[in-house]
Structure 1
Amino acid sequence: MKHTTNFDVIIIGGSYAGLSAAMALGRSLRNVLVIDSGMPCNRQTPHSHNFITHDGEKPAVIAEKAKAQVLKYETVQFHEGLAVSGKKTEDGFSIATQAGEKFVGKKIIFATGLQDIMPEIKGFAECWGISVIHCPYCHGYEFRDKKTGIMANGERAFHLSGLVNNLTGNLDILTSGQAEFTEEQLEKLKVHNIHVIDKKISEIVHEDGNIKEMIFEDGNKMDFDAVYAAIPFKKQIDIPVELGCELTEEEYIKVDSFQKTSVYGIFACGDNSGMRSVANAVATGNMAGAMANSELTTEQF
C-alpha cells in the first residue's frame, strides 16, 4: 500500500458491499482506503445464488474478481487488517486498526456484515451456510422437493413456512421447545401438512456440512436434507456505535434510502443495514459510494 494515511473515504469491510462502494468512488477519482479482515459472513457457503450473472458461483470467486476489478482504479487502496476503533475529527474521522495503524478519512462507509451467533448444538456451525441455511431466495431452489426443517418458533417460523412450502411439501417446524403459535396459525400449518416438533435438538449429524440426520435430546432421530435456521446475530465491530450511529430494534445500523446513517458523513451498506443477500450488498454498496461522493462534491464544489 502507498504510504498514505489521509483519504476521501475509508470503507471498513471489503466484501461485496464494500467493493461495490469502492468501485463507485474509484470511478469518481476519490482517494479510497478499503480495510478488510478477510472474514466474510458467507465464507463457508459453497455457492452463491440469486445474483444475476453470478448464479451458482463460489462466493470467494466473485469476491476475488470484484477486488481485482476495483483495484484497477488507481485511487483505491486495499489494506488487510481489523478496524478496532474510530473517532470524530475536525475534518472527518480517524480509524485505528488492531495492528496500531491509524487512517483519516472525510467520510466513512461501514460494510462490515454481521456475526451470526451459533446455538450450542453439535454440528450446527459446521453445516451453517451449506445445509443449515437462512434464506429461501439464496438457497431454497437447490433444496426444492427435499426433506426440509425450519429451526424457529412463532411468527418467524410461520413466515418462513409460507415461503418454504412453495419449494417443498415435505416440511417440519423444529421449535426446540414449547411451540408459540396462534390457533389460526396452527390450523393453517395443519392444512399444509406442516408438522410442529417441539423436542429439543442435541446434535446435527453431517458429512462435510451436509446434514444426514437430526438427533433430539430424547434420543429420537429424523432425517433431513436441509434446515432453515433463524438465529440471532450481532455487530462485527462497535465503531459505528462509538461514533454515534443509531441502530434499529434488530441492531442493524439505521440508514435512510441513500444508505446514510444518523451521523453526517457516515454510511452503511450490505448485511449490517438490512436484507442479507449478495445482490442487496452490491446494490446498497453502490448507493453508499455514490452518496459519499455526492456529499464530497457538495462540500468541495
Structure 2
Amino acid sequence: MPYDCIIVGGGIAGLQAAIQLGRYSSHRVLVIDSGYGRSTLCHQYHNILGFPDGISGEDLRRLGRHEATKLGTEFVEGKAVKAAKRDELFAIQVEEGTVYSSKTLLLATGLTDRFPKLEGLLGCLGNSVYVCPDCDGYEIQDRSTVVLGAGKAGASMALILSARTDHLIYVNHDRSEVPDELMMKLCEKGIGYKEEIISRIMTEEPGHFEGVQLANGEVVRAERGFLAFGGNHVHSELAEQLGVHLLDNKHIETHPRSKMTNVENVWVAGDLGAHAEQATVAMGEGAMSAIWIHKVLSGMKTKISQL
C-alpha cells in the first residue's frame, strides 16, 4: 500500500513537515533519512525561538523525530538515490534497493557545505566557527575573526562580516583568484588578506576556535571563524530525475505559498529551495508545504497555479 506522503530528508525542514502532517491524524507518512546533513554538523543553533542559550542540530533532530514518531510518522534510514513517477504514484529507491511509493512527495534533501578536512574544525561548527552571516553574524560582534575560504566567496563573506567587526583576516585557503575589485574593497575596509593553505585549526579546548596555523608555519590567532568556500553541493539529484526545474545554482524555486514545484505533487522545503538558508526558515517551509500536501491529500480541487 503506498504512503500518502514520502519526505526525503530528516533534517529540520523534513521533521517539521512530518510533525505537521502527523497532527492531521489522517495521513500515512514516511521519512527517508540518510542521517547526515547540515543539522547533524551544527553543535549550536543560536537564533531559534525558545532556545536563547542555543540548541544543537542533533538535539533538534532527536526531539523532532520523537515527536513525529508519536504522531505516527514512519522512518527509514538510508540514502534515497532514485526517484520516478509511475502512473499516479512516486517511487523512491534507497541505496540498498528497496523502493517506496507515495501519492505526494516532499524533497527536503538540503545541501552540503564545502570546506577542507581539518582536524578540530567539525567540533567548532556552531560553537565558534560559522557559515551563515544572517544566522550567526551576531556571534562575532567586535571579536577577532578569521574567514576561512576560497577566492571570491571568501572575500565576499569577509566584506559582509565587516559590518560586525573591525578585526578581520581572510585566509584564501584554496589560493584561488580574487577579483581586483574585491581586493580593493578588502583593503579599503582594513581586512587582512593571506593567500596560504591552512594546515590546522588551533583549539586548546574542543569546540573552542583560537585561530589557524598556515602551511608556512605562521599562526593567525582569532576568537571566531567563518567558512566561505563556495561550491556547496545542493542535493537536487532526485528533483532533477523527476523533471523539477532547477535554477543555475541547482536550487529550486517553489510556489511562494504552497512550496510546490513545477511538477505536480512534488514539494520542496529547506535549503534545497531558493531562500535564506536558515533553520527557522526551513521550519516554516516544512510546515507550509505540509499544510498544502494535506489540502491535496484531502481532495481539495484548488489549483496551485490559480492562487
TM-score, length-scaled by structure 2: 0.84
Shift of 1:280: 1.0
- Map 1:206-285 to 2 at 5 A: 206-207=203-204, 208-231=206-229, 232-236=231-235, 238-257=237-256, 258-274=258-274, 275-285=276-286
Structure 2 CA distance for partners of 1:160 and 1:235, relative to 1, 3 Å: closer
Q: Which runs of 5+ in 2 are unaligned?
A: 303-307
Shift of 1:69: 2.4
Contact 2:157 2:228 (C-alpha < 8 Å) held by counterparts: no
Could you give the per-residue CA deviations for residues 96-125 of structure 1, whole angstroms, max 9, x where no partner exists? 223333221011101112123333656545
Contact 1:118 1:124 (C-alpha < 8 Å) held by counterparts: no
Q: Distance between the aligned counterparts of 2:65 and 2:198, measured in 1?
A: 40
Quote the residue 1:139 is aligned against.
Answer: 136
Q: Distance between the aligned counterparts of 1:267 and 1:8, measured in 2?
A: 13
Shift of 1:7: 1.1
Contact 2:80 2:92 (C-alpha < 8 Å) held by counterparts: yes
- Residue 44 of structure 1 aligns with an amino acid whose one-letter code is L
- Map 1:106-125 to 2 at 5 A: 106-119=103-116, 124-125=121-122
Shift of 1:93: 0.5
Quote the residue 2:201 is aligned against.
Answer: 204
Q: Distance between the aligned counterparts of 2:232 and 2:6, measured in 1?
A: 25
Contact 2:152 2:177 (C-alpha < 8 Å) held by counterparts: no
Quote the residue 1:40 is aligned against.
Answer: 37
Q: Distance between the aligned counterparts of 2:28 and 2:75, measured in 1?
A: 11
Q: Which runs of 5+ in 1 are unaligned?
A: none
Structure 2 CA distance for partners of 1:201 and 1:260, relative to 1, 3 Å: same
Contact 1:189 1:195 (C-alpha < 8 Å) held by counterparts: yes
Quote the residue 1:64 is aligned against.
Answer: 62
TM-score, length-scaled by structure 1: 0.85
Shift of 1:18: 0.7
Contact 1:11 1:110 (C-alpha < 8 Å) held by counterparts: yes
- Residue 9 of structure 1 aligns with an amino acid whose one-letter code is C
- Residue 293 of structure 1 aligns with an amino acid whose one-letter code is H
Could you give the per-residue CA deviations for residues 171-228 of structure 1, whole angstroms, max 9, x where no partner exists? 1122343662444x55544443222223333333334243333222333221122221
Quick check: 46-55 or 12-21, which moved more? 46-55
Q: Distance between the aligned counterparts of 1:187 and 1:95, measured in 2?
A: 50
Q: What is the DSSP-based 3-state SS (H/G/I as helix, E as strand, rest coil) of the residue aligned with 1:43?
A: helix
**Count of aligned positions:** 295
Structure 2 CA distance for partners of 1:199 and 1:79, relative to 1, 3 Å: closer
- Residue 246 of structure 1 aligns with an amino acid whose one-letter code is H
Q: What is the DSSP-based 3-state SS (H/G/I as helix, E as strand, rest coil) of the residue aligned with 1:273?
A: coil
- Residue 270 of structure 2 aligns with an amino acid whose one-letter code is G
| Runs of 4+ residues over 3 Å off in structure 1 | 120-132, 152-159, 185-192, 297-301
Q: Distance between the aligned counterparts of 1:203 and 1:152, measured in 2?
A: 14
Quote the residue 2:305 is aligned against.
Answer: none
- Residue 196 of structure 2 aligns with an amino acid whose one-letter code is K
Contact 2:9 2:109 (C-alpha < 8 Å) held by counterparts: yes
Q: What is the DSSP-based 3-state SS (H/G/I as helix, E as strand, rest coil) of the residue aligned with 1:249?
A: coil
Shift of 1:35: 1.5
Q: Distance between the aligned counterparts of 2:21 and 2:105, measured in 1?
A: 12
Q: What is the DSSP-based 3-state SS (H/G/I as helix, E as strand, rest coil) of the residue aligned with 1:35?
A: strand
Quote the residue 2:7 is aligned against.
Answer: 11
Shift of 1:17: 0.5
